[in-house]
Amino acid sequence: MAQDRDYESIPGTYVYDAERGRIGYALNMFCMSLNKADNRQSFKQDPAAYLDRFRLTPEQRRAVLERDWLGMLKVGGNIYYTIKIAFCDGLTFQDVAGMMSGVPKETYAQMMLAGGRSPDGNRFKDPQEPESGHG
């Protein structure tokens, strides 16, 4: 069956597939632990010490401590998991989406109010690929 990762041609997108699942497990399981109020408290009190409980790579650890949202995705973070760190910080999905796309919060919010990011010009990393609309 199709396992050629053809979705890797989509720009600005990190599909949580087998490749990322293999490297991201510990990072995402740390995020999962934040579903418990006690753990959220411990993480907030001493982030570095709390992270010692999990076997993160140095790069994963750095990304978490620096709240590098895009960086987390690049080292195996899954957005449904890493968002729990944002909730811990009192941020919303939209706050984090703005930061990942590299624009100020207000600019991102305005883009959404105006109908969102257009798929046109955003379907392929390679601009030579044909833009095939649907429907």
Partner 1 sequence: MAKIVAGIAVSHVPAIGVAMDRGMTGTPYWEPLFKGYGPAREWLAKLAPDVAIIVYNDHASAFSLEIIPTFLIGVADKFPIADEGFGPRPVPLVHGHPALAWHLAQSLILDEFDMTIANEMPVDHGLTVPLSITCGQPAAWPFPVIPICVNVVQYPPPTGARCYKLGMAIRRAVETFEQNLRVVIYGTGGMSHQLQGERAGLINRQFDTAFLDGMTKDPVALTKITHTEYMREAGSEGIEMVMWHVMRGALDQNVAEVYRHYHVPASNTAAGLMILENRSAA
Give 35's contacts (C-beta < 8 A, 6+ positions apart).
84
Q: Is 79 in the site for partner 1 (CB under 8 A)?
A: yes
> What does the angle CA 107 – CA 122 – CA 67 come to, to the nearest 5 degrees?
50
Which phi and psi (to 5°) does residue 92 adopt?
-105, 170
**73/51 Cα distance (integer angstroms):** 17
Q: Please, which residue, 62 or 123, has the CB nearer to partner 1? A: 123
Residue 29 CB, nearest approach to partner 1 (Å): 6
Q: Give the footprint of partner 1 on this chain (CB under 8 A).
A: 2, 6-7, 10-18, 21, 25, 28-29, 31-32, 34-37, 40, 70, 73, 78-81, 83-84, 87-88, 92-94, 97-98, 100-102, 108, 111-113, 115-119, 122-124, 133-135
